[in-house]
A and B are shown apart, each in its own frame.
Chain A
Amino acid sequence: MEKLVSLIPLFPLVGFLYITFFGKGLSKNLIGGIGSGAIFLSFIVSIAVFTTQLHGGNPTTVKVLDWITAGTFDIDIAFIVDPLSTIYLLFITGVGFLIHVYSIGYMHDDEGFNRFIAYLNFFVFFMLILVLGDSYVTMFVGWEGVGLCSFMLIGFWYKDMKNNDAAKKAFIINRIGDLGLIIGMCIIFFQTGSLKYDELYISGSEASSLQGWHLHAAAIFLFIGAMGKSAQIPLHTWLPDAMAGPTPVSALIHAATMVTAGIYMVARSSDLFSASDIASDVVTYVGILTAILGATIALTQNDIKKVLAYSTVSQLGLMFVALGLGAYSIAVFHVITHAFFKALLFLGSGSVIHGMGGEQDIRRMGGLKKYMPTTHITFLIGTIAIAGIPPLAGFFSKDQIIAVAFENNILIFVLASLVSALTAFYMFRLYYLTFHGKFRGTHDQEHHLHESPKVMTIPLVVLAGLSIVGGFIGFPHAVGHSVHFPHWLDHFLEKTVVMPFMEADVATESILMIVATVIALVSTYFAYNMYKKNEELALEDDEIESSTHLTLVNKYYIDELYDKIIRKPVDQLSAFIGKFIEPNVVDGLVKQVSAIPQGIGAATKLVQNGKMVMYILAMIIGLIVLLITLI
């Protein structure tokens, strides 16, 4: 059954190639069918592969091709089948399929429909390669591939320069992270001589021969790669800008799958990270800082997608907190639940934008629940799920992260709880401003308002269902014992990732759960109070007076900071070089070099004066000399 795994990335690739080369002239529905059908086939195979792992199959590697063999460096194109990769396969293909279906409706009127579906298929192909690769090198191929697809899809509406700028920004910032990843890979290779997971982490204990600062450096550089891809401070600025792409892209790439590649990579390297306490601490603090930063910025944003984007940044931060604290399986758990509800929220926001005719500012919305009932209900479910109100998916995963923090570090626990509270607040703010109150948009927009077509709402419903039940795969002990299903995911992942050391008793767990629920509910009440009851509206940008508020609206001025400390000096440096070093030093050298042959030429030019007699005379004299020396 494992052999089938190579089919999984094949279907999207074939879909991409077919649509690219033969898609011209086919109807849009057919193209959409091919695109989503390819993903669906992958999904079916994924389920089959997943089942083998579920029934206790051992992690195996399926080799497809020899790729690079150079001395001791031996890399195959090979796919790894183990619990971690199969569970990723499942939600990538599953959520991916739903988003493909949704795209058919969302992008139906776009002239670049074929291109869009092809790119999406291509993206899924690379994402699957990333997850399935049996070594860092193969993973890196997928890593770069998804980066490429992300670039192409952010800049999908390339006629608008703003989108291209956003795409370039995403690409460049990702490159910085990739450099870290490459350095990390190099350190690992030069120290151990291998980049294959099964050789590096064969025993499931510590990384074979990495020790001392090599270990820390390797882990930290790998984490820098993860920071780039998963938008952690200070490389997070590209993700909100990436919302320039079509909404399904935001849902698939910038919420559910690609941005969690960093989490996957760290989880995959869990042996490495658990052996390095320094790296783990770095991961934890970067994660919690990102979480707080994202959550606070999300409080003041007025663009529906920007709010969700900063929410994503914040949630990713929380996942890294879990990783840093050693709870790898819990991070993966949150990745899965987050994929469900964040994809749902993005698709919901897409539905709203669709209905509003492209409007994204929540200050122009309001009272949409009567126009878009399905969207409203599903969006509410997503909001509850992310806010961490039981028994929806977000509650279980987030609660466990907080629980882990509680056991390890009280400071982190407090901050994580704060993030949780802020999450509930800004999500309900978003919800109330969008769906309640009265409509604040123009008359035309109100007239235009309609519920989205079935092809868009059905994925919403499915994802809403998953958001409700998704948490059940990781019941905490307190609940789990009663249903004989505690920590299923942890046990499933045992073979691949390092398990956290947890000895919390049921009582503590229960108290924490209650505290978390209370916090979420209180935040929700505040939001209700402010935005539902008092209908307090977000201020227009120029009305803001509070400096704190202004800082948040301007995202802590991080972009401006980068502009000042990186772009400006580089510009000035190159201006300086162009003005002084180039004309004086470089040109001077070149002129010196050219002066030498010029001088020689000026000297020898006298010989080549065109007078044939001179030449003949020289020849005859040469002949004489030659003969004299010979006789």
Chain B
Amino acid sequence: MLTEYAFWFLSFLAVFSALTMVVTKNPVYSVLSLILTFFAIAGHYFLMNAQFLAAVHIIVYAGAIMVLFLYVIMMLNLNKFEDEKKSLFMNSLSVIAGCILGFVLLAVVKRTDELTIVAKASSAEVGLVENLGNALYKDYLLPFEMASVLFLAAMVGAVYLSKKEMV
């Protein structure tokens, strides 16, 4: 019972704050709404017994990525996003495309009803650090190493880009 209520609450929170993020004119509100969405998603992870992912999700997204966004917004002193002028044509086109995308996605999800998948008696152990660690460092060692190289490259790139002397 409790988990069901939690699901509906978190889902509502996620969708609501996501909408706020898109709609609001104030960039800081956007960022904060998105952080709220991330918390809601982290809560979903907790519900699904993926505690490790939930913690990492908070640390990475809320603790690092969104701080960077906020930081950049503060550095650039963007108190309000400048008014965006858009053509009516592009707007209507966007609306149509977005709506179709939503409907098509829903249609895709509906199709899953026809599938007869029996959920595995999944153990609560899956999301534990130990199991994930084993998967990560045994089966996915090479991608893991490559991800570290990617990080290094991204770090070098970011440092180089933000050098003051560059014009």
Which residues of A sit under 8 angstroms from B97, Cβ to Cβ? 617, 620-621, 624
Separation of A196 and B98 alpha carbons in the complex (Å): 83
Assess the A627–B108 pair: CB atoms within 8 A.
yes
Assess the B93–A627 pair: CB atoms within 8 A.
no
Separation of A623 and B107 alpha carbons in the complex (Å): 14
Say yes or no for A628: interface residue by CB 8 A criterion.
Answer: yes
**A628 to chain B: closest residue by CB:** B104
Which residues of A sit under 8 angstroms from B90, Cβ to Cβ? 613
Assess the A627–B104 pair: CB atoms within 8 A.
yes
Interface contacts (Cβ under 8 Å), in number, total 24
Range of interface residues on chain B?
Answer: 10 to 19
Within 8 A of A (CB), among B99-136: 100-101, 104-105, 107-108, 111
Assess the B93–A617 pair: CB atoms within 8 A.
yes
Per-residue contact bits, chain A 588-631, to B (CB 8 Å; 1 contact, 0 not): 00000000000000000000000001000100110110011011
Assess the B101–A631 pair: CB atoms within 8 A.
no
**A611 to chain B: closest residue by CB:** B90
Per-residue contact bits, chain B 76-108, to A (CB 8 Å; 1 contact, 0 not): 000000000000001001100110110011011
Which residues of B sit under 8 angstroms from A617, Cβ to Cβ? 93-94, 97
Assess the B108–A631 pair: CB atoms within 8 A.
yes
Which residues of A sit under 8 angstroms from B107, Cβ to Cβ? 627, 631
B22 to chain A, nearest CB (A): 14
Separation of A627 and B100 alpha carbons in the complex (Å): 11
Which residues of A sit under 8 angstroms from B94, Cβ to Cβ? 613, 617
Which residues of A sit under 8 angstroms from B105, Cβ to Cβ? 627
Which residues of B sit under 8 angstroms from A624, Cβ to Cβ? 97, 100-101, 104
Classify the secondary structure of B's interface with A.
Answer: helix
B110 to chain A, nearest CB (A): 9
**A614 to chain B: closest residue by CB:** B90
B47 to chain A, nearest CB (A): 28
Separation of A461 and B101 alpha carbons in the complex (Å): 108
A375 to chain B, nearest CB (A): 80
Which residues of B sit under 8 angstroms from A631, Cβ to Cβ? 104, 107-108, 111
Which residues of B sit under 8 angstroms from A627, Cβ to Cβ? 104-105, 107-108
Which residues of A sit under 8 angstroms from B104, Cβ to Cβ? 624, 627-628, 631
Assess the A620–B101 pair: CB atoms within 8 A.
yes
Which residues of A sit under 8 angstroms from B100, Cβ to Cβ? 624
Known: A613-B90, A617-B93, A617-B94. A623 touches B111 (CB 8 A): no
Which residues of B sit under 8 angstroms from A630, Cβ to Cβ? 108
Separation of A514 and B99 alpha carbons in the complex (Å): 122
Separation of A624 and B97 alpha carbons in the complex (Å): 8
Separation of A621 and B105 alpha carbons in the complex (Å): 12
Assess the A623–B108 pair: CB atoms within 8 A.
no
Which residues of A sit under 8 angstroms from B101, Cβ to Cβ? 620, 623-624
Assess the A620–B98 pair: CB atoms within 8 A.
yes
Chain A residues in contact with chain B, CB under 8 A? 613, 617, 620-621, 623-624, 627-628, 630-631
By Cβ-Cβ distance, the 8 closest A-B pairs, closest first, are: A627-B104, A620-B97, A624-B104, A620-B101, A624-B100, A631-B111, A631-B108, A617-B97
Known: A621-B97, A631-B107. 13 other contacts (CB 8 A): A613-B90, A613-B94, A617-B97, A620-B98, A620-B101, A623-B101, A624-B101, A624-B104, A627-B105, A627-B107, A628-B104, A630-B108, A631-B108
